[in-house]
Amino acid sequence: MTKKFNDTIIRAYRGEQTDYTPAWYMRQAGRSQKEYLEVRKDHTLFEITHDPELCAYITRLPVEQYNNDAAILYKDIMSPLPPMGIDVEIKSGIGPVIDNPIKSIDDIQKLKKLDAEKEIPYILDTIKLLTQEQLNVPLIGFSGAPFTLASYMIEGGPSKTYGETKAFMYKNPEAWFLLMDKLGDMVIDYTKAQIKAGVQAIQIFDSWVGALNAADYRTFVKPVMTRIFTELQKENVPLIMFGIHARHLLLEWNDLPVDVLGLDWRTSIKEARELGVTKVLQGNLDPTILLSDWDTIETRAKAILDEGIEDGRHVFNLGHGVTPNIKPATLKKLTEYIHSYSKR
């Protein structure tokens, strides 16, 4: 007998009352799971994402092992960039490395438009497999946001300061806005293709945009984010915005046509509300807490759940992604605790 579809998290994202606080974890697919580590011995990340059966298997593992209330598609924010003409490789221990970084407006003009159905059909096939046959919980699709993608494309890889990105933005505003427009178009087309294939929510990761102050965000980034979310609103699926080190941008995000704001661990639910945030909130246990003893984990999770239950509009998550040294058994126990403690 097929399990009944559990839409708790979608109802929570829409601000509806639910029977318990739903939970999922960023970077839950893979990381420290032994089955995933076995696959990674013989496959790169991009090789996994090009194999729909294998990618679907990795995506659904956390739901099967931890009883999470949503799956998030296993892929990387770099996945749509190669069809645009960006030579990117995910290097172990480093992250995305780009061999042809953006240096000028000419480089930006050469970027190709993404045709998701023709150029990344394997991602859409994975979504169809999961949503039509394999999952009894919602599947979350996602994309990197233009600023975060641009930072990799300009820096050539990860950065601690985003100095080259910000310098390019300040010195070449015409080129910057062209890049934002091209990446904005890609994000819209890419996420709409995911929705058409079957995902039931979209999260936009602007992981590194906290490097900007609020005034620069309003000038250089907010217009494209408003355009993206305005277009995606037409698809009638919950829209989630997330970044880290971004407390100073929460009210800017609150203005966007999104349903949910993800908090990192630096801002509590109560503090976000005191700042004036009105959206449904998602978060926000510090992932490093999961390396501690269970009493500490339970105490910290309980504090977040208590605030979330009192607030009434909360989905549990981590304040950033699962790290490879977090034990799967800990995530399973945490999910069990969240569900049992928050049961109405």
- Tell the residue number behind the tokens 């300061």, with chain if given: 161
- CA dist., res. 76 & res. 298, Å (int): 31
In 166-307, DSSP assigns E strands to 201-205, 239-242, 260-262, 280-285
Single-letter amino acid code for the residue at 6: N
Active site residues: 27, 31, 40, 76, 152
Q: Does 67 sit behind a cis peptide bond, omega within 30 degrees of 0 on the bond before it?
A: no
- CA dist., res. 169 & res. 178, Å (int): 11
- CA dist., res. 73 & res. 127, Å (int): 8
In DSSP notation, 229-263 reads: HHHHHTT-S-EEEE-SS-GGGHHHHHTSS-SEEE-
In terms of Cα–Cα distance, which of 119, 124, 111 is closest to 75?
124
Q: What is the DSSP-derived secondary structure letter of residue 23? A: B
Length of the chain: 344
In terms of Cα–Cα distance, which of 11, 75, 5, 7 is closest to 259?
11
- CA dist., res. 39 & res. 58, Å (int): 9
In terms of Cα–Cα distance, which of 131, 122, 117 is closest to 200?
131
3-state secondary structure of 223: helix
- CA dist., res. 189 & res. 232, Å (int): 10
Say if residues 197 and 128 touch (Cβ distance below 8 Å). yes
- Cross-sheet strand order for the sheet of 260-262: 71-72, 139-144, 201-205, 239-242, 260-262, 280-285, 314-318
